[in-house]
């Protein structure tokens, strides 16, 4: 691919947008720098002008996926649901965010939003609880996406017409609320005894 055959110029944003679109088509396992370059009609080495490594590109994709998580939602459970919903917006979104989070790449937007929601509700150890809830959300969302993917390929045991995600919302809510603890308005300080 010479400059004569490809007049289009790409920037960091267009590379990331193309990579997200390709992620939705082929999944994380088949998302390669070669495939992204072919989609953009450039040599793979051209991508390294914008991202120094595939890991940096994946961190950017994870940040884009979690960027839609709203701050200041209606509470811890609503925040956790917002994170889960953001992960579900892209094929293998949960696995992608989980892998970059495990390697401490990208931003910590999801965890900071959870921590803020916990602090707003007076939770003790809000940062630790936020991390625990995020771990749960990432694992739960990965499980759901893998079940849905396996079901779409007929890889799950057949047991009639069963919804492979049935009951998982209830389990999700139970897990988040258990990790959050009993949250209410901040406790009032005890009165001095007279």
E strand or H helix at 102: helix 93-102
- Which residues have CB under 8 Å from 33's CB, separation 6+? 44, 47, 54, 57
Residue 16: HSE in the Cβ half-sphere, 13 Å Cα cutoff: 16
Q: pLDDT-based confidence at 68, cuts 50/70/90?
A: confident
How high is the pLDDT of residue 14? 94
When pLDDT is cut at 50, 70 and 90, the band that residue 176 belongs to is very high
Q: Are 57 and 96 in contact (CB under 8 A)?
A: no
Task: Single out the residue of 2, 38, 1 nearest to residue 18, CA to CA.
Answer: 38
- Residue-averaged pLDDT of the chain: 85
Dihedral of CA 104/108/114/118: which sign? positive
Give the least confident one: 51-55, 68-72, 91-95, 160-164: 160-164
**Whole-prediction pTM value?**
0.81
């Amino acid at each position: 691919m010479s400059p004569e055959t490809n007049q289009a110029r790409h920037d960091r944003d267009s590379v990331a947008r193309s990579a997200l679109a390709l992620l939705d088509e082929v999944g994380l396992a088949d998302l390669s720098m070669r495939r992204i370059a072919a989609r953009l009609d450039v040599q793979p080495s051209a991508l390294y002008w914008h991202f120094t490594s595939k890991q940096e590109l994946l961190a950017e994709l994870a940040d884009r996926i979690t960027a839609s998580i709203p701050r200041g939602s209606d509470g811890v459970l609503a925040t956790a649901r917002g994170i889960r919903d953001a992960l579900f917006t892209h094929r293998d979104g949960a696995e992608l965010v989980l892998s970059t989070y495990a390697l401490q790449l990208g931003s910590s937007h999801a965890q900071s939003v959870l921590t803020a929601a916990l602090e707003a509700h007076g939770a003790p150890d809000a940062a630790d609880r936020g991390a625990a809830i995020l771990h749960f959300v990432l694992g739960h969302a990965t499980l759901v996406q893998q079940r849905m993917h396996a079901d779409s390929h007929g890889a799950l045991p057949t047991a009639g017409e069963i919804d492979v995600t049935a009951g998982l919302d209830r389990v999700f809510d139970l897990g988040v609320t258990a990790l959050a603890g009993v949250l209410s308005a901040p406790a009032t300080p005890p009165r001095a005894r007279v």
